[in-house]
Structure 1
C-alpha cells in the first residue's frame, strides 16, 4: 500500500466505526426485541414460537441513518414451529392479533405489510416476519428453511422461502480467517471465551466495507428524485455480492478495492433475466425485482461505478488533507466525516501520551488497539533523543 492508501485506510476505518449504532442504541434495540419476543411467545397456544433476529442487525452490518429524521431497522423472524398446517393468511393474522392485544404495541403497529408486521419505535422500526418451517420441522443447524407469509396486492399469498440461519453461517464462513482473528483479539482483551463472542461485538474488513458501501448508497440517493430513490440497491444484494467477492483481505481499503471490482462477477444474466441467488437457497433470487423493473438493475451498476470513484479514486487523487476530507464528505456525509477525523487525531494523541500506540507491520499504519500483528510504538519526548 502507498502512503496515501494507508491514510485513506485509517480514515475509512474511523468513519466505519462512527457508522455503528451506539452501545446505548443497541442495548435499547435488544431489550425491545426480547420484550416483543416474550409477548409473541404466547401468540398461539398450539405452536412452539421462536423469535430470532435476521438482517443487518444479525450480521453486524447495521449503520446509523443519514439524518435524524430517518430510522434504522431491526428484522425479526417469528417462527411458529408447529403451525405448518395453517394457511399463510392465518399465520399472519395470529401474529398481528397478538400484537394488537398489547396496549403499547397496538399504538405502535403499522398497517399490515406485504410480509411483515412493523412496530415503530422512537429511533428505529422493527419488522416482524411471521413464518413456519418449510420442512414440517425446524431443527438447528439441520432443518432451518422457513416458509414466509408473502402477500400480493391482490390479497393472494404465494410461496416464498428463505433461510436466515444458514445465511448467517455462510456469511461468517466468507470471512472466517479475519473473523477468527478479531474474535481472538476481543476474547483476550475482555477475558471471555472465543465461542461466546457474538458477531456484532467484532468487525472484520468485510463488515466494515459493507457498512461503508451502504452508507455511500444512502447518501447518494438521499437527495435524488423519488423515482431513482425507489430503485436504490437493496442491502441484501450489496451484502451478498460483497461477501462473495471478499477474499479475506486484512484491511478495509484492500477489501473495498477487491469487492467493488469483483461484485459484478457474481451476477448471472441470461438475456434480460438477472440472477443473484441466495447462496444457501439458490431458488431464492435476490434480483427478482430487477426482472420486473430493469431500472433497478441499471441503478445498481450506476451506484457501483459511483462508489468505486467516490470512495477509492477521488480521495487518492486529491492533494491535501482538507481535499481528502471533502472527497470523503461527498461519500459519507459531512458531519460523520468531520467527527471521524477529529476522533482519529484525538485517539492518536491520547494513545501516544499513554504509550498505547501501535504500528501494524510495515504497511498497516498506526493503531490505538493491539492485535496479533501489531507492535507498540516507542515513546517520544520531542527533544531529539
Structure 2
C-alpha cells in the first residue's frame, strides 16, 4: 500500500504518542477493561451517543436558517438588481460538516453562510466594491462588518449568520486575478471561491464547500469492520440556496462524533476556567486535525471492531498530527495551498499553550471515564465531563439521564507575561 502524506503523519503520530507515554508514564486510553464484557462496551457507546444527542442543535433552527438565507438572496436581487441565477448561497463551517453544537449556556451560536456570486453576470469587479455592495443590500438587518464577512444578528433567533460574499475563483476578472492571495489545491479545485479579505483589500482563495466535502468524504470511508461493505457517501444539492444539512449523527459516524465531543469538551474547559475564552482552540483546527488523522488511518487500511476503539485513537493521535515546517507550527488547509490554520500560534505562543493544556485535560478526563469500574460511575463521570443536564438530555430506556456536573478545581491558566 502506497504511503500518503496523512498516513505518514499518522505513523509519526503513533511513534510520538508511544514515546511520550513511556517518557511521562501517562496511561494510554484503553478498552482492555471492556474486553470481557461486550455489554459494558455497548453501555459506554450508548452514553457517548447520549452526549452526542444532547449537544446537537434542534432541527427547527436549520429550517429557520434556510429561510433566512432565502430572504438574504431575495434582498440582494431586489436591492442590487442582480440576476437571481447569479447568486448561490450555501452553508459553510460546522453547519455544513454536520458538526455544529449548541453552547453549554444555550447562548447564540453562529451559522456561517457563503454567498457565491457569478461576477461575469454583474458589473462589480473590485473586491471592496463587491463587499460593500453586499453589506449595503443587507442594511435592514444592521450587518456588522467583519474581516471577510457581514455578521447579521437576527432578532428572535438562537443564532446569528456570518454572511461571506464570494465569487467562483474562475469568475474573478482577469484584470484583478494577479492580486489573489493563495491558490486552490488540486483537491476539490472546482469548488474553489474567492472571498474579500478586507484588511488587504484583495481577493483571497477559499474553499468552504470543498472543505466540507473533504470532511464528508473521509467520514464516509468505513473503518469499522461491520461497515466495510456499506456506502455512506453524502451528496450535495445544486440548488441556488442550499439548506443547512440535517444534524443527525450516529456513533458509527465516528469522525463527526469525535469532532462534536471535542468541541463540547473545549467549550466546557472554557466555561470552567481551564482555558481563557480568547485563547480557546478554534473549531477549524480541531476539525482539520481529526479529519487528517481519520484519512491517514483509512489510507493505512486500519480496521476497528468498535467505534470506541476508533474514537480513542482519534483523540490520542490528534495532538501529534501538527506539523513543523521551518520551525513553525503548521496545520494545512487541505483545499487551499499555503494556508496555515495554525499561523496565529507562531505569532502568539499562548494559543499553542492553551491547546496543549486543553488536550492534556481531555486525555485526563477520558482516562477517568475509561478507568471507571462500573456502568453507574462511568455514566456519572461522563455527565460531569461534558456538562449535560438531566432536564435537557435524552433519557435512555432505563430512565437515567445526564445530570449536571459539580464544580471542579480549574487548572491554572498560562502566565500572561504581558503578551497581547
Q: TM-score, normalization: structure 2?
A: 0.69
Please show how residues 179-328 of structure 1 align to structure 2 within 5 Å: 200=246, 202-203=248-249, 204-224=253-273, 228-246=276-294, 247=297, 251-270=306-325, 272-310=327-365, 312-328=366-382
- 1:93 is aligned to 132
Q: Relative to 1, partners in 2 of residues 1:344 and 1:160: Cα closer, same or farther, differing over 3 Å?
A: farther
1:161, distance to aligned residue in structure 2 (A) = 1.9
- 1:351 is aligned to none
- Alignment counterpart, residue 218 of structure 2, candidates 174, 186, 194: 174
1:170, distance to aligned residue in structure 2 (A) = 1.4
- 2:102 is aligned to 64
Distance between the aligned counterparts of 2:279 and 2:327, measured in 1? 17
**What is the SS of the residue equivalent to 2:103?**
coil
1:238, distance to aligned residue in structure 2 (A) = 0.5
- 2:193 is aligned to 146
**Could you say which structure has the greater relative contact order, defined with CA pairs below 8 angstroms and 6 or more residues apart?**
2
Q: Relative to 1, partners in 2 of residues 1:43 and 1:242: Cα closer, same or farther, differing over 3 Å?
A: farther
**What is the SS of the residue equivalent to 2:63?**
helix
Distance between the aligned counterparts of 2:284 and 2:272, measured in 1? 22
Alignment of 1:134 onto 2:169: yes
Q: Relative to 1, partners in 2 of residues 1:292 and 1:228: Cα closer, same or farther, differing over 3 Å?
A: same
Q: Relative to 1, partners in 2 of residues 1:347 and 1:319: Cα closer, same or farther, differing over 3 Å?
A: closer
CA contact (8 A) 2:55 2:102 kept: yes
- 2:414 is aligned to none
Distance between the aligned counterparts of 1:244 and 1:59, measured in 2? 14
**What is the SS of the residue equivalent to 1:118?**
strand
Distance between the aligned counterparts of 1:32 and 1:186, measured in 2? 33
CA contact (8 A) 1:149 1:160 kept: yes
- Alignment counterpart, residue 333 of structure 1, candidates 383, 387, 391: 387
Q: Relative to 1, partners in 2 of residues 1:309 and 1:99: Cα closer, same or farther, differing over 3 Å?
A: same
1:270, distance to aligned residue in structure 2 (A) = 3.3
CA contact (8 A) 1:161 1:284 kept: no
Distance between the aligned counterparts of 1:282 and 1:147, measured in 2? 13
CA contact (8 A) 2:323 2:331 kept: yes
Aligned residues: 328
1:35, distance to aligned residue in structure 2 (A) = 2.4
- 2:208 is aligned to 164
1:272, distance to aligned residue in structure 2 (A) = 4.4
Distance between the aligned counterparts of 1:250 and 1:150, measured in 2? 46
Q: TM-score, normalization: structure 1?
A: 0.74
- 1:77 is aligned to 114
- 2:398 is aligned to 345
CA contact (8 A) 2:99 2:260 kept: yes
Per-residue displacement from partner, 1:136-184 (whole Å, max 9, x unpaired)?
369xx763222222223xxx425532111221221122122349999x9
- Alignment counterpart, residue 145 of structure 2, candidates 100, 112, 119: 112
Q: Relative to 1, partners in 2 of residues 1:35 and 1:271: Cα closer, same or farther, differing over 3 Å?
A: same
- 2:69 is aligned to 33
1:85, distance to aligned residue in structure 2 (A) = 6.2
5+ long unaligned stretches in structure 2: 1-30, 174-187, 238-243, 299-303, 402-420
CA contact (8 A) 1:14 1:344 kept: no
**What is the SS of the residue equivalent to 2:102?**
coil
**What is the SS of the residue equivalent to 1:277?**
coil
Distance between the aligned counterparts of 2:123 and 2:221, measured in 1? 39
